Every structure is written in C-alpha cells, then in structure tokens.
Structure 1
Amino acid sequence: MKAQWPTVAIVGVGMIGGSIGKALLGRRLADRVIGVSRSAASSAAAKRAGAVSETTLDLAAAAAADLVVVAAGVAAIPGLLDALDALVKPGTLITDAGSTKTSIVANWERRRRSRRGRFVGSHPIAGSHRRGAAAADAGLFTGRVAVVTPVPATPPRDAEDAASLWAALGSTVFMMPPREHDRILAATSHAPHLLAAAIVAATPPATHRFTAGGWRDTTRIAAGDPELWADILLDNAAPVASAMKRFAIAAEKMLSAIEAGDRGRLVTLLRRAKDARDAVGS
C-alpha cells in the first residue's frame, strides 16, 4: 500500500509528537518519519520509543518532507513555522498540535502571500500530564477529537488535507475559526488546569496523606509541565479569564447554598452538575 505521506517531519518528538510518529508508522501512513529534536537525549528517547524512523537536530531536514507537523510548545511554534517556511519545498503541507490557535495562525497569516508552505492550524484534543517520547502512544488519537482552524484566506484543499491527517490517525475532525477554538478550549482545558493547580495549592501539605481518588482525579492535570502551561494560559488569557469568572460564579452559588443551610438549593445545583457530567460520558 502506498504511504499517504511518504516522508513526514515531526518537529518536537515528545509525548504528542511521538504519538503522531508511532501512529503514522504503525498505520503505514508514512515510509519515513523524521524526528527533529532539540537535544541528542530527546532524539535517542524518540528512537527508543519507536516514534520515528530517524532523528536529527537539524531543522533543515524538513526540506525532504511531504508533511511537517510542529508539536512544540505554543510559545515556540510561530518562530518554528517561520523557520520551516524558508526550508520546505513549495506547497508542502504544515500543521501544528498547539493548544492555542489565534496567535499562531495570525502570525502565519501576516505573511501569507510570501509563504512557501501551506500551513493550517490544528489541535488534537488528546494528551496526558506525562512528558517525553517514552509516553508516546500510537492509539492516543483513536476515537478522540481533533480541531482544524482554517481562516477565510485558507484554501479549502489545504484545510481538507490537514483534516485528513487527524482522520487517518483515528480522530473525529471539527473545523472552526481559531478564536472559536480558543474560547472553547479555555473552558474545557485551560481554565480547568488552573482550577486543578489551585486545588493543589490550597490543600495543606499536612493533609496530602489523606487524599484519595477524588482529590487525585481532580488534580491529575496539575502535574503538567508548568513552563508549557504558563505559555498556554498567557497566550489565551482573555478567554481563560472569562471561563474562570464563570466557574467562580458557579462556585459562589454553591457556597451561598452551603452558608445558608439550603439543602434543597444545594442538591439542585449538584444534580445539575451531575447530569451535565453524566451526559459527557467516560
């Protein structure tokens, strides 16, 4: 069977980039997966994990690719896209896996007319608090959602080509503008991370030995990389702030019911939350 993308370059072969590479190779969607890393140690980890077929520290290796996926932190993505655009063959499809989209896409669009590559923003909504290629999972995207974020200037074919990557990896693909993506993810991912971190910060260390499933499930994501998450939260600051204010209003209603001893009101609020959570599924 002919590979859909003969040569793929993945810039940043950590947990997400490594999972993309393992899925491409496992599904025989690519003949070569070149992992571009920042260090020899991360290159070696990607090779050991079977996430890539070859590794390099040289971004210029992307010149050989038919598809380039940037799976770096959101703060690094705009600069990497500019550098890659000077290296790739004209017409090469480029996408990313960043958790924010508005600023990344806007940076690309400012120079769209002079671009060599065909960039369309993406975000696979899958992941883990674990880091590095050792945590890569070929099935990470199966049955999950991926968002592709074209803008009015994006040729429909480019958006469809980016969507085809995530569909080939097993995801259900949605298309929406970058700002809509960031508004939604602020509520479903970014603000929840802040809440998880706040719960940990507010829990007295002396009580940690008494934590069980509820506390640990609720705070699992607080174990994510602080540097990476600071960049995400600051890049999506206004939507995150709006989401946090909504959370504060909901919490205040529950607190008011507790302070008033209003069991009926408290049960109503908790039941609404339970019903909404049950509707999401596992």
Structure 2
Amino acid sequence: MSGCIDKEKGRVTNRMNNKIEAEKELETIEINLLLEGIYRYYGYDFRNYAGPFLNRRIWNRMRAENIATISSLQERVLHDPTAMKKLFRDFSINVTEMFRDPGFFLAFRTKVVPYLREQPSIRLWHVGCSTGEEVYSMAILLHEEGLYEKTRIYATDMNEEVLKEAENGEFPLHRMQLYTRNYLAAGGTTAFSEYYSAKDNHAVFHPFLTKNVVFAQHNLATDRSFNEFHVIICRNVLIYFDKILQNRVYHLLHNSLSPSGILGLGSKEGIKFANIVNSYEEVDPIEKLYRKIK
C-alpha cells in the first residue's frame, strides 16, 4: 500500500515539476519577444541584460500596470509610448550618490591624480552617469587637486530624462549629511557646503562644477566609441549585463582608452574573467582601478 502511495506522490511531483518548467520556458519566450519587439520598434536594446535584473523590473512594471502576462505588457508598450517610457525608466539604472564608495575616490586621489598631473589636458568619460551625483563628485575632486581647468568630462547615460536632472545639479537637501560624510571619507579638503546653496528642499550645486562637463546620451548596448580618454569611469553598470554584453562593453571601453589610460569599475565588477584581462595592470585591486598596458 505504501508503495502505491509513494508512486502516486512521485507522479504528482513530476507533473508539478513539468508544469513549473513549462511556465519558466513560456516566461523566457515572452520576455525574449518583449525585448525583441522593443528593440525593433523603439531601437532600445535590452536583449543582453542580466536575466534576474530584467525579470524583477518586468514583473514590477506588470504589477504597477495591473497586467497579468508579459505578452500583455508587450502589447501595451508597443502601442502606448507612455507605457514604454515607464518601462524604459524601470530598465534604467539610477542608483547613485555623491562620492559613492568613498574609498574609490580616495584611491583615485592618491593613485590616479599623479598620472593626470603629467597630462597637458584630460579627457574623462563617466559612463552611465544617471542623475549626475558622481559626476559632480569627480568635478569637485579634480577642482581640489587643481586639475579641473584642463579637464573635459563627458557624462553619458542612455536615459535622456536623468541627463536633464544631472544638468540641473539639484539634489535633495536631506541627503547632504550623507554626502558630506562620503566627501570627507574620500579625502575632501574643504567644507562640502561650499559647493552648493540651499533652495527650498534642494541643494543647488554651483555652476562652475559643470562648465567643463558635456552631458550626452549614449547606449552601451548599441553605440560605439566617440573619443579617446585618459580616464573612463564605468561603475556599477556592467553587473546588469550578461557575459556577452559585458565582454562587448569591455572591448568598447578598452578601445576608448588612451595608452596608459585608467579604467575605474564598481566594487562588484572586475576584469579578472573578461577576455581583455591581459590588456590591463592593477592600480588598486580593491577599488577596481586598472591601467591599460596594451
């Protein structure tokens, strides 16, 4: 009798597992069709973004839109540009703060600035700049090191809306306490409050910090290199891509660096497993700073 019960339990378990696998396969098909439709109709390429990242953002948008299936979401975004705009914002990576990971900026001061002092002019590309907090941070650092006047910072993101926010240079006033702590930990040399003025509930950063900054739209998934840079900062962007797109971007960044140029990555990123690993030497392995050697 117990043997029959065990066999029946096994059959039930198999049917459940088969159903789960079928649902996963259907979800994968629907997501692929959604991303392909977005690419063909709007020109935005999310096809090589990391699966878990896409799944979270897609299901969050479905709940917000009260939609039951991914196919229904596809129909909506292809026929309603407003819905596409919302999903595009969901796919954009906008997690940032001023002097984020202060150790990175401190290492930049001590290990990269001496190299930059030797250059007659400096071109720096900040990839995936989001709303601009880290761009202003770098401008402040270079100003304090006496390098800002000979620097041109190219700050790019695929999202035009966040670029407009970055250009405005206004950030919530309540975040200044955190940003001040980050600034001091990053080796700041003056009072952080000197760089902004309070206006209502916002801190408005002084315009001189963006006089040498060019904000422009650039999509790592589809666009090519547009200059040669002494420094490229691409932090906490690659973690959202799959291996195929990661390697493609690594080659784009490598081709965009001048000889002996510096690449800065995020704390959870690195070139150890990239196919261009032998093209760099470590400047600071903990803070993920690398120098191009070939």
Q: Give 1 or 2: higher strand fraction.
A: 2
Where on the TM-score scale, by shorter chain, does this alignment land: which range?
0.3 to 0.5
Using structure 2 for the length normalisation, give the TM-score.
0.33
Using structure 1 for the length normalisation, give the TM-score.
0.35
Q: Which one has the largest radius of gyration?
A: 2
